[in-house]
Amino acid sequence: MPEEPASISSKDSAFGLLQQQFREQYCEIFDDHLAPRSIIVIPSLTLDQQILSKIKGHFYYEERMLCMLMLLKMPATKLTFVTSVPISPIIVDYYLHFLPGITAHHAKQRLTMLSCYDAGNVALTDKVLRRPRLIKRIKNSIQGNPAHLVFFNVTESEKQLALQLDVPIYGCDPGLNWLGTKSGSRELFRQSGIPLPDGYENLTTEEDIVEALFRLKLQNQELARAVIKMENGFSGDGNAVFSYKNAPADTRHLRSWLSENLSKNLKIVARKLSYTKFINKFIKTGGIVEEFIDGGKLVTSPSVQVRINPCGEIKIISTHDQVLGGESGQVYLGATFPADLNYAREIAALATRVAELLRDAGVLGRFGIDFMSVLTDGGWQHYALEINLRKGGTTHPFLMLQFLTNGTYDPEDGTFSVSDGSKRYYYATDNLQKERYKGMTPLDLIDIAMYHGLHYDHSREEGVMFHLISALSQFGKLGLVSIGRTPERALEYFERVVEVLDEESVRP
């Protein structure tokens, strides 16, 4: 681990001073829902250009953070939302309709929607930085209130924009982002005393990969597969799975066999990414190699969402069981909430130990920790996989649940309760996609949902909230959060949505 990681954001720097002011401001007003404030949401996927270019309609993913519009339920709060391309007023009205206790008219007076009018394969934050007049409009929207910025993830670009706006970020200093890499995660897990898969980190060459695969096989002759991960892979797209099938039993020939068969036995998760491009990217970014965990009676992929606020308080926000897909089960498709009650409390306790180290290093904001859990004869065995120092696929579904119900998650018993004491569960996905859905507009979707009674119902505190709505017409894709009083009921809502959309999208 690099020396003094927390020193990056020094109090003497302009950014450090901004962040220090935010800490003081937060501890004074953030528990007061009537206090005036301004929140600037810039939902930029500031990722590697090669990763960004592979996400079809990536700018539509900015709409996942429209859940932040629900903050307008605080009557003195102003919110500025910036996107790559304009969002239809129909979609904005859809969200404002669900505000509890606030009329849409009142909320609209405090909402500023701004756009770059740019659908190019460039991160939103970089688009904003190229538009000084837009930056001025954002600054004017604050109107002198205490303000802060909210991003999907924070890089040097977000830091630069914060300095231009003179507004702090509710997020992690990019100087600490190393802690959220695959190698940084493994080192923190070791410091926390948390089990993690056997593996090797801080690898930078093809030879390093071969050597790591060689050592893993020596340690475990029964090992069938290993995972190669780039340091900053996103949603599994930086991963590849290596198979030891047909590996020689004589270890004297194993290293040479690995060198000769690395490209042949490697299954790259990202589509249309050649072996050469994968290796070149790995060499550029670095990464890890670790065992592929198999076996046990059952293997699950839970995650824990955590927040460290500016006062240094740690809160376990939620637990989820991730739904993974793809040929090797490495691609994030969705999640169920909460995680299995047999281990939700256990993984929350493990995540707290990691969070304490992150807080001491200076980390701020929301982040997620992914686990692999294996059911053995002795109970559940949990392995920590990675830390994501950013918002993720489980952030917006939980925020919607929380905003809609005003309920609370109890990490001690792993359940979410609403005001009458009853529990709520959900199934969430960003990947409901079918060719037949193409051409369906936002207005079509809302009409269909209303006609078939699929909308979230405040009186029952159950139903469906849609997101990624703009992507439906062009890509036949949308996301949703399906909320129910039982896990089975939440899944029933989702299945009903699919059934209705399939019926309504039948072409003449």
DSSP states of 40-57: EEE------HHHHHHSTT
Count of domains for the chain: 4
On whether residue 118 sits in a domain, the answer given is yes
Helix axes 487-504, 442-451, angle to 10 degrees: 120
Cβ-based neighbour number of residue 348 at 10 Å: 25
- Determine the Cα–Cα distance for residues 334 and 320; give it in Å rounded to an integer: 10
pTM of the model: 0.91
Are residues 323 and 440 located together in one domain of the fold? no
- Determine the Cα–Cα distance for residues 403 and 150; give it in Å rounded to an integer: 17
Beta carbons of 449 and 455 less than 8 angstroms apart: yes
Tens-place pLDDT, residues 61-113:
999 999 999 999 999 999 999 999 999 999 999 999 999 889 999 999 999 99
> Of 264, 291, 318, which residue sits at a domain end?
291
On whether residue 28 sits in a domain, the answer given is no
Are residues 305 and 364 located together in one domain of the fold? yes
Q: Return phi, psi of residue 353, to 5°.
A: -65, -40
Cis-peptide into 338, omega within 30 deg = yes
Residue 49's identity, in one-letter code, is Q
Spell out the alpha helix ranges (H) of 220-343. Answer: 254-261, 275-285
Beta carbons of 424 and 414 less than 8 angstroms apart: no
- Determine the Cα–Cα distance for residues 112 and 82; give it in Å rounded to an integer: 8
Beta carbons of 86 and 117 less than 8 angstroms apart: yes
Are residues 123 and 228 located together in one domain of the fold? no
Are residues 130 and 53 located together in one domain of the fold? yes
> Of 258, 291, 324, which residue sits at a domain end?
291
Q: Residues with Cβ < 8 Å from 274, sequence gap 6 or more?
A: 268
Which structural domain, as residue segments, surrounds residue 113?
33-170
Q: Residues with Cβ < 8 Å from 250, sequence gap 6 or more?
A: none
On whether residue 335 sits in a domain, the answer given is yes
Spell out the alpha helix ranges (H) of 179-219. Answer: 182-192, 206-219
On whether residue 41 sits in a domain, the answer given is yes
Q: Return phi, psi of residue 474, to 5°.
A: -85, -40
Tens-place pLDDT, residues 475-508:
999 999 999 999 999 999 999 999 999 999 976 5
On whether residue 22 sits in a domain, the answer given is no
Q: What is the pLDDT along the chain (508 residues), one digit of tens a residue?
A: 333 334 444 444 899 999 998 988 888 777 778 889 999 999 998 876 666 566 667 789 999 999 999 999 999 999 999 999 999 999 999 999 999 889 999 999 999 999 999 998 899 999 999 999 999 999 999 988 899 999 999 999 999 999 999 999 999 999 999 999 999 999 999 999 999 999 999 999 999 999 999 999 999 999 999 999 999 876 667 899 999 999 998 888 999 999 999 999 999 988 778 999 999 999 999 999 999 988 767 899 999 999 999 999 999 999 999 887 765 565 678 899 999 999 999 999 999 999 999 999 999 999 999 999 999 988 999 999 999 999 888 899 999 999 999 999 999 999 999 999 999 999 999 989 999 999 999 999 999 999 999 999 999 999 999 999 999 999 999 999 999 999 999 999 999 999 999 999 976 5
Instruction: With CA atoms as reference, report the closest residue to 497 among 442, 435, 450.
Output: 450
Are residues 180 and 325 located together in one domain of the fold? yes
Are residues 49 and 161 located together in one domain of the fold? yes
Are residues 449 and 403 located together in one domain of the fold? no
Are residues 127 and 189 located together in one domain of the fold? no
Are residues 276 and 302 located together in one domain of the fold? no
Beta carbons of 382 and 195 less than 8 angstroms apart: yes
Are residues 119 and 240 located together in one domain of the fold? no
Task: Please report, for the domain that includes residue 490, its CATH number.
Answer: 3.30.310
Give the CA distances from residue 223 to residues 15, 121, 354, 372, 430, in Å, rounded to whole numbers and listed in that order. 47, 40, 28, 17, 33
The b-or-e profile of 21-55 (16+ CB within 10 A means b, else e) is bbeebbeeebeeeeeebbbbbbbbbbbbeebbebb
Are residues 150 and 205 located together in one domain of the fold? no
On whether residue 386 sits in a domain, the answer given is yes
Hey, which bits of 327-473 come out as E strands? 331-337, 365-376, 379-388, 408-410, 415-417, 425-433, 463-467
Are residues 129 and 261 located together in one domain of the fold? no
Beta carbons of 340 and 280 less than 8 angstroms apart: no
Q: What angle do CA 147, 152, 156 make, to 5 degrees?
A: 80
For the CA atoms of 116, 117, 118, 124, the dihedral, rounded to the nearest 10 degrees, stands at 30
Beta-bridge partners for 410:
415
Q: What is the pLDDT of residue 25?
A: 86
Spell out the alpha helix ranges (H) of 341-462. Answer: 344-361, 395-405, 442-451
